[in-house]
Structure 1
Amino acid sequence: MTTTPWTPAAAAALADALDHAVLDRGVPGGVLVLGTAGSTEAAGRTVAARGTVAPECGPAGPDDRTRYDLASLTKITATWALTGRALAAGLLDLDEPLRARFPRLPSPGGWLTVRQLLAHSAGLQPETRLDRYLHLDRPLAELLCAEQLVATPGAEHRYINRGYVLLGLLLADAHGTPLDALGDHYWHGLGMRDTEFGPVRRSPAVAPTEQRLRGAPRTWGIPHDPNAALLNGIAGHAGLFSTAADLAVFAEHLLTADDPWLAASLRPQIAVEAGRSRGLGWLVTDTGAAYHHGYTGTSLYLCPALGRYAVLLTNAVYHGFSGSRLTPLRDRILAAVTTP
């Protein structure tokens, strides 16, 4: 693999952009890691940390060992990665109907495929709303599959959580092992010791997220996503906590392991918009980048052709979510990761 290290000028410009996001009260603080695969940590990784973890955590700033709620980066760091391993082990099949392996799954969802779930093209209901299934005497996977579809499977891209909730349930079923235990085994094998499903213990090294009701305690150490919380924090779409250092290890592994699962996943499956397609899990661009965001203010970027990656962890929802708050910073990182 050819690697092109980040230039000092590019790293400095992105660190300044993170600083502006903090100064503009877009985020309390955050951590940016820029890395080049295959290099030693000192030579191949630059860390920029700005702001504070949060006011209630004291004046100390975050670092690459501060834990953040990954939100939808769970889809990549847990579900996508574990699905690849299950496919390689023959426990799942990418293109056969789900009910070929799980015959109890009802129609119409039982006829969907793992590929469609990963690519957000399954046509499942757009709203997650797991609260609708409270106290119903039927497994959640069956309830999700029994819902009517809103689009023909494989026909269009709709970013939804339900497909990954379902994948998380099926991974646990296929292995006969809870999803969090599967994840722990995988992450610990890579040396990612600070990555786990929540809840995690509150501390100044864990970034709080949103205060949902004025005067109420802030969400801190428990998943920000309410549907993940209904699943006790262990879900295929959200609920994971990690650090920038651990995600750098994850990114370096993906870029150096020569894993055919990553190569297959970065092939466009369905168009999203001009210049962007959905692969298996990842968004892929015509410029050669692959990336994914998390609602709380997290992002992971890869450029396999240059051997580069970038990790951005923030708790942008601390001030109440605004989709545009991180857009300038995220766009700059996306452009820079593919710029020689």
Structure 2
Amino acid sequence: MPLCPARSLRAVLRSRLGSLLVIAVASSAVLAPATAGAATGPAKDRTLQDQIDRFVSEPGGPPGVIALLRNGKQTRVLRAGVADLATGRKPQATDHMRIASTAKAFSGAVALSLVDRGALGLDDTLRERLPRLPHAWGQVTLRQLLNHTSGLPDYSEDPEFTAVISADPRHHFDSRHLLDYVADEPLRFRPGSRYEYSNSDNIAVALMAEAVTGAPYEALLRRLVYRPLGLRDTSLPQGYRLPEPYLHGYDMSDPASPQDVSELVSASGAWASGGMVSTPADMTRFIRAYASGAPLYGKDVVREQRRWIEGASQPAGPGRNKAGLGIFRYSTRCGVVLGHTGNFPGYTQLVAATPDGRRSLTFSITSQISATSDPARLERLRAIQENFVCALLRDER
């Protein structure tokens, strides 16, 4: 079936970025069939392969899925569908992709590394570190930003912000002034009194890191995260372009005519909250280190990071969710993994690992699936992800 010529994207990009984008996207390429990836792994992987094959082939399903299951030094890669509907190319572990709100785990890694070094404290307040921000927000602490109990209003839900993105999805924002959109708003609740996921939290985390180091957040990512972990294909861009090769992300609101939205939106409007680009291979390296803490920070910081409260990632991860500092606890029927989820126009992500970092799952999808856009499909996805977690935890190799 062909990719339709120019048409309006209807309600395509309603995400945690808060925007409803309605634009025309032109294409005349041919849609390749959603063929299954070869089940070349152990026999027990075939059930998992069947599940993602069915998920891709159902009406409105994502064009592609790639999952990396790592146990020690062994990695199994399962994939279904394609990375690019125009060419039929298969997803690869080295394909670039938008990692959505899993970028919040990177801001957590930067902040907790600075806590470990004594440059930041978890009880440091916005008034102390970022006095330019509204006085009414001053009592909010770094800890509350990291576990989403700050009460900060979400800039991505602000009408002025969404109007700018709706008019020009590739608009270049001043990322360090995204909180200005809600600077005239009070806190939504008393800091620390309850959980509420907010994209503003991680913008403030990055700004606090810059304030205490005098270095740009992008440089801190390179120094504190990329280099120690050997991440060569991870970046925080400002524009809308993706490095080649990449997993193409699609709007599937009309299954008969998918629209490529990979390069639709400028990353500058998400920045530390969701603007990063990486690969499944790099994300596997990252989550193994981030879940365990080593070599990013020590055991004292890990203990603070794992003070769990009630709260779910967006979208919810597999099993029962609880929130820590820049990380979530996913309690499945087979055991516990720690990680983060995210979605962005064209992409849905899950990265998770056992608390010791030995076993990990990176699960990437090339369409946006959320409780708002398609709750039934999200529940099917969570069930599949839980089955992958069970396979990971039961692997005795």
Q: TM-score, normalised by structure 1?
A: 0.80
Partner of 1:94: 122
Contact (CA 8 Å) 1:165, 1:236: kept in 2 or not? yes
CA deviation after TM superposition for structure 1 residue 200, in Å: 6.4
Contact (CA 8 Å) 1:141, 1:169: kept in 2 or not? no
Q: Is the alpha carbon distance of 1:204 and 1:190 closer, same or farther for their aligned partners in structure 2, counting shifts above 3 Å?
A: closer
For structure 1, which runs of at least 5 residues remain unmatched after alignment?
1-6, 224-228
Partner of 2:107: 79
State whether structure 2 residue 261 is matched by structure 1 residue 219: yes
Contact (CA 8 Å) 2:287, 2:357: kept in 1 or not? no
Select the residue among 349, 357, 362 that pairs with 1:311: 362
Select the residue among 299, 310, 332 that pairs with 2:387: 332
CA deviation after TM superposition for structure 1 residue 74, in Å: 0.6
Deviations 1:203-235 (A, max 9, x none): 662123245999998432465xxxxx3x62661
Runs of 4+ in 1 over 6 A off after TM superposition: 133-136, 212-217
Contact (CA 8 Å) 1:269, 1:280: kept in 2 or not? no
CA deviation after TM superposition for structure 1 residue 108, in Å: 1.9
State whether structure 2 residue 325 is matched by structure 1 residue 288: no
Question: For 1:54, what is the secondary structure of its paired residue?
Answer: coil
State whether structure 2 residue 137 is matched by structure 1 residue 104: no
**Match for 1:28: what amino acid?**
P
Partner of 2:209: 171
Deviations 1:263-307 (A, max 9, x none): 432331345599432111222145432221111211011122583
Q: Is the alpha carbon distance of 1:232 and 1:263 closer, same or farther for their aligned partners in structure 2, counting shifts above 3 Å?
A: same
For 2:44 and 2:135, the matched residues in 1 are separated by 51
Select the residue among 6, 21, 31 that pairs with 2:66: 31
For structure 2, which runs of at least 5 residues remain unmatched after alignment?
1-40, 165-172
Contact (CA 8 Å) 2:127, 2:138: kept in 1 or not? yes
Partner of 1:193: 232
Partner of 1:59: 88
Q: Is the alpha carbon distance of 1:284 and 1:64 closer, same or farther for their aligned partners in structure 2, counting shifts above 3 Å?
A: same
Question: For 1:206, what is the secondary structure of its paired residue?
Answer: coil
Question: For 1:45, what is the secondary structure of its paired residue?
Answer: strand
**Match for 1:13: what amino acid?**
T
Partner of 1:257: 294
Select the residue among 234, 248, 268 that pairs with 2:284: 248
Q: Is the alpha carbon distance of 1:191 and 1:279 closer, same or farther for their aligned partners in structure 2, counting shifts above 3 Å?
A: same
State whether structure 2 residue 110 is matched by structure 1 residue 70: no
Q: What percentage of aligned pairs have identical amino acids? A: 24
Contact (CA 8 Å) 1:288, 1:305: kept in 2 or not? no
Partner of 2:33: none
Q: Is the alpha carbon distance of 1:85 and 1:332 closer, same or farther for their aligned partners in structure 2, counting shifts above 3 Å?
A: same
Contact (CA 8 Å) 1:94, 1:113: kept in 2 or not? yes
Q: Is the alpha carbon distance of 1:178 and 1:321 closer, same or farther for their aligned partners in structure 2, counting shifts above 3 Å?
A: farther
State whether structure 2 residue 236 is matched by structure 1 residue 206: no
Superposition map of 1:37-52 within 5 A: 39-40=72-73, 44-52=74-82
Superposition map of 1:84-163 within 5 A: 84-126=112-154, 128-129=156-157, 132=160, 139-141=177-179, 144=182, 146-163=184-201
Segment of structure 1 superposing worse, 141-150 or 89-98 = 141-150
**Match for 1:248: what amino acid?**
T
Partner of 2:34: none
Deviations 1:24-66 (A, max 9, x none): 2521112100112xx33xxx2111122111213x111011011
For 1:203 and 1:94, the matched residues in 2 are separated by 35
For 1:124 and 1:46, the matched residues in 2 are separated by 41
Q: TM-score, normalised by structure 2?
A: 0.69
Partner of 1:226: none
Question: For 1:170, what is the secondary structure of its paired residue?
Answer: helix
Question: For 2:156, what is the secondary structure of its paired residue?
Answer: coil
For 1:284 and 1:217, the matched residues in 2 are separated by 34
Partner of 1:322: 374
Question: For 1:50, what is the secondary structure of its paired residue?
Answer: strand
RMSD: 3.5
CA deviation after TM superposition for structure 1 residue 88, in Å: 2.0
Aligned residues: 320
For 1:32 and 1:142, the matched residues in 2 are separated by 38
CA deviation after TM superposition for structure 1 residue 94, in Å: 0.4
